[in-house]
A and B are shown apart, each in its own frame.
Chain A
Amino acid sequence: MSSDAIAVQTAGVSADRTWLQTLHEWVTTVDHKRLGVLYVFYALIFLVIGGIEATIIRIQLMRAHNDFVSPQVFNRMFTLHGTTMIFFVIMPFMFGFANYLVPLMIGARDMAFPRLNAFSFWLTALGGTLLYFSIVGGSGLYGAGSAPDVGWWAYAPLTSRAFSPGHSADYWTIAVLVSGFGSIGTAVNLVATVLSMRCPGMKLSRMPLFAWLTLVMSGLVLISISPLSAAQIMLLVDRYLGGHFFDTQAGGSATLWMHFFWIFGHPEVYILVIPAFAFASEIIPVFSRKPIFGYPVMVGATVSIGFVSISVWAHHMFTIGMTSYSNSFFVLTTMIIAVPTGIKIFNWLGTMWGGKLQFKTPMLFCIGFLFQFLIAGLTGIMLGAAPFNWQLSGSYFVVAHFHYMIVGAILFCIFGAIYYWYPKITGRMLNESLGKLHFWLFVIGFHLTFDVMHVPGILGMPRRIYTYEPGRGWDTLNMIITIGAFIQGIAILLFLANLVFSYFGGSKAGNDPWDGWTLEWSVSSPPPVYNFASIPAVASRRPLWDLKHPEDPDTHYD
């Protein structure tokens, strides 16, 4: 592969354009890097919005019988918070990074279908916008207009005409449907890109794990967003064409919706967490100065997680009165997932073992991820034991469990990824001291909130209640949880400030600030238009290692 000759003419980056021209360029772009940045930017905006909703929820629950907001507003807040964080924060983050990095890592000049790429992004953007348009639609801003209040699972029959008159459920379902189409488009694109755009020498077995995991994630998107979209369409048929799929008052089935939703919902967890694994699998080796331990096993474990994750959905439905045989089946599949997941944790540990660990901010976040992912997995086993689940499901224990997964594991990896690739994307380093401060504050806030949150669940506190009775031992715990939430909020503000100030004043990154091994570090930061002046050729999994260590190249072990 050639590391020289990167000085491509960056067409049209002259300083004398008006802001309108710049805007026009961004809106009409089909460039994978720009779309990647748009996705991440979009996700950051919604992260702030979802965070504000979380804050409102936490203030309301600070003490028993609080009346900071009405039950109606509270129910809208948790519906919007959940829908936003899943569909308009974490998914766009993941698609953004995949978009930006996959072509660079596999030595391609763009995604397979650049126009589809842009189309998909704008569909996702439309989805999020529609969801929030609901706030001004209907009865206006006061009382939050027509914002949906059905919870992010939108269980039937709450969404039927009888229980959700007006348009609140419509906004929810159309927002999810539209952004789902966007996800499918991006997934098709990622699969095609990984399968057919790899540079010479990059066999499947030489792809960075990041590309592998993106491939598995995209496959899961195709498998699981389809039933979700089907269910949304059926719901629309119910609401507008007199269908009775889920309309229980006309003989429809509430459990049918549950099956559709969770057959999407469980793989969705893996759609979100597999890219997080992908970040960790790139970051941990570089900061341990060792290759990933057990590459083929890591690939195999991910693929099997993908497959098994399709067969576990009803562990979200242990309380709906399935037979003891069905319950046992889903207990078994759920617990089997623990095996490949455990293998992955051990392989990351194996990567660190015997290395020279450098605790730069990205690595700190990844170590936090390992710790929290371990705990989230273990509480997952508790929830997977159906009888234990009969007590825990629908309680704050579950809320703690999945926030451990989504914040403690996934968001930590996202932060790690931003600290790691920000220099590549902007050409500037993020401020390391601010980064460490962000990390530690966030760790403290996170654990204050989500460790403690398991306890009210064990003490019988259900989720989605806007208020609770005093004297059940929940009050103090909820106060601590809220304090932790504020600390997390402050940490996120620090992070956002770091993003902005480092963009203008950060130190110059250079091509390869972390001494990395994958192809994206071979080009300038930010990478030139179309990435590679001449398409590189690779001979091992770590082309830059080979280049830097001609005396001991990976090609010997490939």
Chain B
Amino acid sequence: MVVGRALGILVLLAGILFAAGLCRASPLGDNPTTSIFQPHSTPAESIYHLSIFVLVITAVIFLVVFGLLIYAVVKFRSRATGTDREPAQVYGSTQIELAWTIIPILIVVVLFLATARVIHAIQDAHKPATALEVTAIGHQFWWEFRYPTLGIVTANELHIPVSDPARPTPTFLKLLSADTDHSFWVPQLAGKTDLIPNRVNETWMDPHETGIYLGQCAQYCGTQHAKMLLRVSVDTPEEFDAWVRTQKQPANQGEKEIAGRRVFETTACINCHAVGGTVATGRFGPDLTHLMSRSTIASGAAENTPENLRLWVQKPDAIKPGSLMPAMKLSDDDLDALTRYLETLR
């Protein structure tokens, strides 16, 4: 039976190793991963190196103690052939106690120093003059991104430039909350930092590779915490500049879709949403000025297609039950017109 247990545990260990392998392997297809073990930015990388160090130390401790436990269980099991005599009664040993006090203390000192160094390196990093500043504001179930130096407001999909280690252009994010606690977490770029009302937090990242990075809200913030997804697009400097130029333009005035625009501007939409250069100046929901430049809607809950847009406006609960956008109960014709208007907001 003891052998059975040892075997079982071996199988388990193999399982753990296999799982660890899984974490490193890319997921199927070209889906971007959210594994913390595939970092692509300095803070995430320093964390990764620290975590490997901690993992190695803990693995060694595990093997030693686990070995002792298995040895004890196998070696000292009472054998049926044994006599009824009780084993020698040992009450303790000061030397041994001292040994297993001092060794752990030394390990703790090493771990602490290594950890403190990384804390300092990440938290007290110097902000270069070339850094991009973004303010991220958490809302119940979506993200607002403001670029104060560029005069851009957008939602849910963050665009930042790739950072060349030779000429770093890191992004420094100021984190605020409009309502409850949230947490900004894009595992490949940095550890998470909370967005807390009445408090200003900060985090930074300097992605080394272009591409899409995924993440999501990591602090329970209410009904739709699960669908508060994050998408970070790391652009080449040229792509980023082009993106900035489109975002700075005022909204398409929608002359062609004047019917839809009228629906939009005469219903409550404008109380909650802003469309640059129009009467719509609401701030409760995402800025829609360049809605169509985003690939998803409702914080990543659905792809940004005309069908989804229409469904969203008609019945937000069908896509994201419990979201704070109300169903507006529009007629089918109004819905069609409105969707066509929304599609012009490029």
Binding site for B on A (CB under 8 A): 70-72, 75, 149, 151, 155, 157-158, 162-163, 248-249, 251-255, 288-291, 293-297, 319-321, 323-324, 327-328, 331-332, 335-336, 338-339, 342-343, 345-347, 349-350, 352-359, 367, 370-371, 374-375, 378-379, 381-382, 385-395, 443-444, 447, 451-452, 454-455, 458-469, 471-473, 549, 552, 554, 557
Q: Is the CB of B194 within 8 A of A387?
A: no
In the bound complex, CA of A508 to CA of B217 (Å): 57
The minimal Cβ–Cβ distance linking A120 to chain B, given in whole angstroms, is 32
Chain B, Cβ-Cβ closest to A320:
B194
In the bound complex, CA of A173 to CA of B108 (Å): 38
**Given A343-B100, A381-B58, are A451 and B16 neighbors across the interface (CB < 8 Å)?**
yes
Q: Is the CB of B124 within 8 A of A378?
A: no
Is the contact region of chain B dominated by helix, strand, or loop, or is it mixed? mixed
Q: Is the CB of A157 within 8 A of B179?
A: yes
**Given A374-B65, A451-B15, are A297 and B322 neighbors across the interface (CB < 8 Å)?**
no
Q: Which of A288, A319, A458 contacts B35 (CB 8 A)?
A: A458
- 9-residue interface stretch from B162-170, B197-205, B275-283, B338-346: B197-205
In chain B between 187 and 232, which residues have their CB closer than 8 angstroms to a CB of chain A?
Answer: 187, 190-194, 196-199, 201-202, 214-227, 229
Residues of B within 8 A of A454 (CB): 19
In the bound complex, CA of A462 to CA of B73 (Å): 38
Q: Is the CB of B72 within 8 A of A158?
A: no
Residues of A within 8 A of B199 (CB): 254-255, 320-321
Chain B, Cβ-Cβ closest to A317:
B194
In the bound complex, CA of A395 to CA of B58 (Å): 20
Residues of B within 8 A of A381 (CB): 54, 58, 111
Residues of A within 8 A of B122 (CB): 387
In the bound complex, CA of A30 to CA of B27 (Å): 60
Return 27 A-B CB contacts under 8 Å, by A number. Answer: A75-B225, A155-B181, A155-B219, A251-B198, A291-B91, A293-B91, A319-B193, A321-B193, A324-B120, A328-B120, A342-B104, A352-B76, A354-B76, A378-B62, A382-B54, A386-B119, A394-B219, A443-B8, A451-B19, A455-B19, A458-B36, A460-B185, A463-B220, A464-B226, A471-B31, A473-B33, A554-B89
- Classify chain B's interface size: 35 or more
Chain A, Cβ-Cβ closest to B72:
A352
Q: Is the CB of A472 within 8 A of B33?
A: yes
In the bound complex, CA of A295 to CA of B90 (Å): 11
Chain B, Cβ-Cβ closest to A457:
B36
Chain B, Cβ-Cβ closest to A342:
B104
Q: Is the CB of B47 within 8 A of A471?
A: no
Chain B, Cβ-Cβ closest to A75:
B223
Residues of B within 8 A of A70 (CB): 321-322
The minimal Cβ–Cβ distance linking A324 to chain B, given in whole angstroms, is 4
Residues of B within 8 A of A321 (CB): 175, 193-194, 196, 199, 201-202
B238 contacts chain A at the CB level, 8 A cutoff: no
B289 contacts chain A at the CB level, 8 A cutoff: no
B61 contacts chain A at the CB level, 8 A cutoff: yes
Q: Which of A72, A293, A355 contacts B223 (CB 8 A)?
A: A72
Residues of B within 8 A of A472 (CB): 27, 31, 33-34, 214
- 9-residue interface stretch from B80-88, B151-159, B244-252, B254-262: B80-88
**Given A71-B226, A460-B34, A471-B27, are A319 and B220 neighbors across the interface (CB < 8 Å)?**
no
**Given A254-B197, A386-B115, are A354 and B87 neighbors across the interface (CB < 8 Å)?**
yes
Q: Is the CB of B51 within 8 A of A385?
A: yes
Q: Is the CB of A460 within 8 A of B36?
A: yes
Q: How many A-B residue pairs have CB under 8 A?
A: 296
Is the contact region of chain A dominated by helix, strand, or loop, or is it mixed? helix
In the bound complex, CA of A528 to CA of B124 (Å): 66
In the bound complex, CA of A254 to CA of B179 (Å): 11
Q: Is the CB of A320 within 8 A of B198?
A: no
The minimal Cβ–Cβ distance linking B202 to chain A, given in whole angstroms, is 7
In the bound complex, CA of A462 to CA of B16 (Å): 20
Q: Which of B123, B201, B218 contacts A327 (CB 8 A)?
A: B123
Q: Which of B9, B16, B73, B225 contacts A464 (CB 8 A)?
A: B225
B97 contacts chain A at the CB level, 8 A cutoff: yes
The minimal Cβ–Cβ distance linking B110 to chain A, given in whole angstroms, is 10
For the complex of A and B, 10 pairs with smallest distance between CB atoms: A390-B191, A460-B34, A465-B226, A321-B201, A248-B197, A356-B78, A294-B92, A324-B123, A378-B58, A394-B218
Chain A, Cβ-Cβ closest to B203:
A321
B129 contacts chain A at the CB level, 8 A cutoff: no
**Given A370-B69, A467-B226, are A355 and B321 neighbors across the interface (CB < 8 Å)?**
no
Q: Is the CB of B76 within 8 A of A391?
A: no
In the bound complex, CA of A347 to CA of B119 (Å): 34
Q: Is the CB of B191 within 8 A of A387?
A: yes
Residues of A within 8 A of B322 (CB): 70-72
